[in-house]
Structure 1
Amino acid sequence: MKPGIQTLPTEVVHLIAAGEVIDSLAAVVRELVENSLDAGATRIVISVWGQQWRVRVADNGCGMKLADLKQAATAHSTSKIRNCDDLWQINSLGFRGEALHSLAQLAQLEVISRSAQIDEGWRVTYCNLGEPLQVETAAIAPGTVVTVDNLFGTWWERRQGLPPLERQMKAIQSTIGQIALCHPHVTWQVWQNDRQWFALSPGANTQQLIPQLVRQVRLGDLQHLKSELPAPEGEKLAGNCSLQLVLGLPDRCHRHRPDWIKVAVNGRMVNLPELEQTILSATSRTLPRDRYPICFLHLKVSPCQVNWNRHPAKIEIYLNNLNHWQEQVSQAIEQTLRLNSESVCEKVHNERIGKLIKASEAKGSYGLNRSIEPRLEEAKTDIDLKAIAQVHNTYIMAEHPGGLWLVEQHIAHERVLYEQLLKSWKLVELEVPAILHQLSEQQQLQLQRIGLDIRPFGADVWAVRNAPTLLAARDDYAEALLELSLGGDLQAAQVAVACRSAIRNGTPLSLEEMQILLDRWHSTQNPRTCPHGRPIYLSLEETALSRFFRRNWVIGKSHGI
């Protein structure tokens, strides 16, 4: 049975990070919704009347008994914690006992509630000190309805200092969306001025919720991963840790701004710049230039690993063993970006596939360059790719159990070479130094920055005596080194080397060469996109092909019988 509401001891109150809990309509929604979730609610209805500064939150949670209702709005009263030790073992969204008391001071507060264990509910209104002003029975299903009316009615300066109502409504929508991401099992209904504003349907996980919040993203554009995490080394009490990751696949969706990198810890969205930077680093060189990933990360760690008592809004936290969690997040993203049977059998390309096949049918020819060389035997992987043809000396046609793939050979090879360079960036001596002319001081510094040995060799002439291994074997290494001098960090130089060294489109390949390239590409860490962020393969799924050729018709019907 859930413990009742009690006033916190003075020593606990002194340890709590005090501050302004209610500073806007969105803050009212946040605090009331968190109370609903702590009560075990699976359905929450939020109603907002902006002009009246009124908010109502109704839930189907466990409800409250009359004794708890009478004490709910008094200062520092809560059922979440009892003593100082509980502050370091927070298992709930709320714990300070400040929200309802603050609302009673700033607005007209009414709570109607009924516990599932009793047959009658109660309506309580409170004075500005949080004491019961009126108590009466009320007909209500198990759960709680909290109404906050005339917010800041006695504090006009506060109302005048707040943004326009339109911006406040957007803040409310954003607040609900962030909370819903952390609790995808909950049904949400939101009303504005007695008209339904929006609703969110529950899902098995956050992957099913994101398309409801970001309309241009489809379910198949996202990859979901849930895994148990090892406890930090030396932390015996930090067991039962897990990670849930929903990542937008880089060849399918991305953003112009880093506005959809979300991090949550133990059911609450938080600001953790270190983990956000880890996400950006792990997805770098998989997205187009100036694009950012769609990523939701939810860490569930032992309460002893988190200190929530840092900021009144509880979005700033202290997370112990941060380096450990960063390493786990990097590994999870790497695993998610790999190709596997779960991530490639989705029907996300069907519309594009249909258009492609129709266009090809209209042209009347697929321009295949076939070879009959035997396929080399190889070790089995979770996806068995078999090279069967080359299209226009540019695309490798590969068969797999779910259909066909078209793989662009140049950027697939570029991905292979780039990841090789990341693992082993080697510079070798050139037999004949590269002679470069009219280099600016910035170009000279750039070549030195990536480790090249550059020395004056006359008036406006420089000799470069070493080069990356891949370039040293090329006849045009001088041109390549000049290209490297034009800017960028070491990683950009590695991309440039990989791009210049990769097989060019238009190059004929044998079946054996195609198969080797497919195998090497498939085993890379980020096989979906090249280092510039371009998609490497197009999936022609068997289901789409069957639909186009009408192979799912009933035999008799398809023959006009």
Structure 2
Amino acid sequence: MGQQIQPLPIDVIHLIAAGEVIDSLAAVVRELVENAIDAGATRITVSIWADQWRVRVADNGAGMTLENLRQAAQPHSTSKIRDRADLWQIHSLGFRGEALHSLAQLSSLEILSRSASEPGWRVAYSSEGEANQIESVAIAPGTIVIVDRLFEIWEARREGLPSTSQQLKAIQQTIYQIALAHPRITWQVYQNDRVWFNLWGGHSAKDLLPQLLKDVRIEDLTELQSPGISVVLGLPDRAHRHRPDWVRVAVNGRFVKFSDLEQTILGAFRRTLPRDRHPICLVHLQLDPEHIDWNRHPAKAEVYLHHLDEWKERVKGTIAQALRIHPDTVPDSLYTAQASQLIKAAEAEAGYHVSREIQPEPAPFSPLKALTQVHNRYILAEHASGMWLIEQHIAHERVLFEEISDRWQLIPLDPAIVLNQLSSSQIEQLERIGIEVDPFGEQLWAVRSAPELLAQREDCADALIELSLGGDLQAAQVAVACRSAIRNGVPLSLEEMQSLIDRWQRTRNPRTCPHGRPIYLSLEESSLARFFRRSWVIGKSHGLE
């Protein structure tokens, strides 16, 4: 049985952030659903009749006693907190005791509820939140809240709201966000008495995301948990977005606007995604309540977090760890005809014999063994779980980019390289990334330093012109890495292939090159077994009975 609903003391009411909670149909859904979750619900049914301004939310939570039902719509009445000290120990989604009272004022409010040990009751409320109709009712344990004729006496409010389609979209997004923060809950959502969508509960947000984003498969995602942090992200070689609309932060069960942490997340994916693409990344912080101040926004959409810089570093580190290659992020790959042809060519050239037994799960960072080169472009390597094809140029590009980023070193050029007809913006760009440039005559400039990797190259002058054409320091580092990496078409010895693979496996972001292109294709033994029908019964596979 839940705690007793009681009015808050006056001094606590004065401390609570002011502002109207109910300003739309989506806000009604949010407040009622959060109450259901606070009551321990594992199944929630939401029904919407937008044209009638009607919402119904049913749950299988703890339910309420008749005494609690009498108090539920009173102003500032809540079971979540008792005194001012509780404002700094918020463990629930709701705590202000405003929502049901606001709904009583703005609509026709009715609640049906039953706790496990008592009979069920139906209560209708006056506009002041008084229980003016009470009757017994036969229902399963849980609560049903019906909000009807919302804003009927506030016609100007209805006219000021977005269109019905926009409101429905806001409701859908509200439910999506709450579901991701509470992934074990099963949802049924109806619109005008017809099924709108269902969401099936899972162990984590990773199980929910493919239900929300139809072009994302569960194998496109990975998750990692560290103390106080849970991260679910789209692998950069498989899942990304045109907009940063799926970079989100939740704190203790609620997604919030948190631009500092969102920028930290975007920064953690820099140079892992294609141009103009953005990551899919959900970060959920589980913190001691004393580290959070929820009492800063009427809808609790913003939060103040103590020790923010420390949490930013921890989020960055957790994402970096999740982006590395380990068994959980190397799922079975679909076997393709193109991959089949590549393997046949490699087998014919190198005499490679595929193991006929399914291999056990590899250990983290399981080493790769170079076998051969395909078309002087791909390295075929044996892995404990199957075979991998690695594109040599972009694998080397990733290696060099991270080495350059960690040790960006400019060395003197002796003699200097003379460039002609540089614009003032090109000169400023070279100086911006630390390269020393001096006038050397009419339309001539002497470049007296260069990145170490470029200084010994015959095309150093061309590379310097490329660097002068724009971009920040990181863009310059990418350009240097790309120009310096092994070209496709260059033959490599087995020793050179192995050395490259070993260096690549040690990088921080081995899945993609700095331009966001995927570096490797994994050909898992389980997929090969299915392709070659090794799971069939031997007699039947030979046409025998």
Task: Specify the alignment match of 1:336 in structure 2.
Answer: 322
Match of 1:512 among 495, 501, 508: 495
Q: Does 2:436 match 1:450?
A: no
Contact in 2 for aligned 1:438/1:460 (Cα 8 Å): yes
Q: CA deviation at 1:10?
A: 0.3
Aligned mates of 1:333, 1:62 — CA distance in 2: 37
Q: CA deviation at 1:366?
A: 5.2
What does the per-residue CA deviation read over 1:46-81, in whole Å, with 9 as the maximum and x for residues that have no partner? Answer: 000111100000000000000000010010000000
Aligned mates of 2:339, 2:433 — CA distance in 1: 46
Task: Specify the alignment match of 2:480 in structure 1.
Answer: 497
Task: Specify the alignment match of 2:136 in structure 1.
Answer: 137
Q: Does 2:138 match 1:155?
A: no
What does the per-residue CA deviation read over 1:229-275, in whole Å, with 9 as the maximum and x for residues that have no partner? Answer: xxxxxxxxxxxxx1110010000010000000010000000011010
Task: Specify the alignment match of 1:52 in structure 2.
Answer: 52
Contact in 2 for aligned 1:187/1:200 (Cα 8 Å): yes
SS of 1:209 mapped into structure 2: helix
Gaps of 5+ in 1: 229-241, 373-379
Q: CA deviation at 1:342?
A: 2.0
SS of 2:336 mapped into structure 1: helix
Aligned mates of 2:401, 2:365 — CA distance in 1: 23
What does the per-residue CA deviation read over 1:362-391, in whole Å, with 9 as the maximum and x for residues that have no partner? Answer: xx845976599xxxxxxx963120000000
Task: Specify the alignment match of 1:114 in structure 2.
Answer: 114
Spell out the pairing of 1:349-388 with structure 2 (5 A cutoff).
349-350=333-334, 353-357=335-339, 365=345, 370=350, 382-388=365-371
Q: Does 2:22 match 1:22?
A: yes
Task: Specify the alignment match of 1:231 in structure 2.
Answer: none
Amino acid at match of 1:341: P
Task: Specify the alignment match of 2:394 in structure 1.
Answer: 411
May I ask how many residue pairs the two structures share in their alignment? Answer: 534
Task: Specify the alignment match of 2:6 in structure 1.
Answer: 6
Q: CA deviation at 1:357?
A: 3.7
Task: Specify the alignment match of 1:402 in structure 2.
Answer: 385
What does the per-residue CA deviation read over 1:94-140, in whole Å, with 9 as the maximum and x for residues that have no partner? Answer: 0000000000000000000011122x100000000000110000101
Aligned mates of 1:267, 1:410 — CA distance in 2: 44
Aligned mates of 1:360, 1:368 — CA distance in 2: 10
Aligned mates of 1:408, 1:216 — CA distance in 2: 26
Contact in 2 for aligned 1:354/1:548 (Cα 8 Å): no
Contact in 1 for aligned 2:2/2:63 (Cα 8 Å): no
Gaps of 5+ in 2: 353-362
Aligned in 2, Cα 1:370/1:504: closer, same or farther, shift over 3 Å?
Answer: farther
Q: CA deviation at 1:401?
A: 1.0
Task: Specify the alignment match of 2:462 in structure 1.
Answer: 479
Task: Specify the alignment match of 2:270 in structure 1.
Answer: 284
Q: Does 2:535 match 1:552?
A: yes
Contact in 1 for aligned 2:2/2:64 (Cα 8 Å): no
What does the per-residue CA deviation read over 1:23-54, in whole Å, with 9 as the maximum and x for residues that have no partner? Answer: 00000000000000000000000000111100
Aligned mates of 1:554, 1:32 — CA distance in 2: 55
Aligned mates of 1:69, 1:421 — CA distance in 2: 65
TM-score, reference length from structure 2: 0.96
Aligned mates of 1:473, 1:108 — CA distance in 2: 79
Amino acid at match of 1:100: L
Aligned in 2, Cα 1:393/1:359: closer, same or farther, shift over 3 Å?
Answer: closer
SS of 1:463 mapped into structure 2: strand
SS of 2:179 mapped into structure 1: helix
Amino acid at match of 1:340: H
SS of 2:388 mapped into structure 1: strand
Aligned mates of 1:481, 1:368 — CA distance in 2: 43
Amino acid at match of 1:170: K
Task: Specify the alignment match of 2:223 in structure 1.
Answer: 224
Task: Specify the alignment match of 1:267 in structure 2.
Answer: 253
Give me the identity figure in percent: 62
SS of 2:477 mapped into structure 1: helix
Q: Does 2:291 match 1:308?
A: no
Amino acid at match of 1:181: L
Q: CA deviation at 1:473?
A: 1.4
Aligned mates of 1:179, 1:138 — CA distance in 2: 30
Q: CA deviation at 1:553?
A: 1.2
Amino acid at match of 2:303: I
Aligned mates of 1:282, 1:267 — CA distance in 2: 23
Aligned mates of 1:70, 1:442 — CA distance in 2: 73
What does the per-residue CA deviation read over 1:441-488, in whole Å, with 9 as the maximum and x for residues that have no partner? Answer: 000000000001100111000010110000011111111101100000
Task: Specify the alignment match of 2:237 in structure 1.
Answer: 251
TM-score, reference length from structure 1: 0.93
Compare 425-434 and 89-98 and name the one that shifted more. 425-434
Contact in 1 for aligned 2:346/2:372 (Cα 8 Å): no
Aligned mates of 1:40, 1:381 — CA distance in 2: 38
Aligned mates of 1:276, 1:335 — CA distance in 2: 18
Aligned mates of 2:134, 2:18 — CA distance in 1: 30
SS of 1:40 mapped into structure 2: coil
Contact in 2 for aligned 1:367/1:391 (Cα 8 Å): no
Q: CA deviation at 1:20?
A: 1.2
Contact in 2 for aligned 1:72/1:100 (Cα 8 Å): yes
Match of 2:504 among 494, 515, 521: 521
Aligned mates of 1:358, 1:388 — CA distance in 2: 16
Task: Specify the alignment match of 2:356 in structure 1.
Answer: none
Contact in 2 for aligned 1:113/1:144 (Cα 8 Å): yes
Amino acid at match of 1:529: T
Aligned mates of 1:171, 1:210 — CA distance in 2: 18
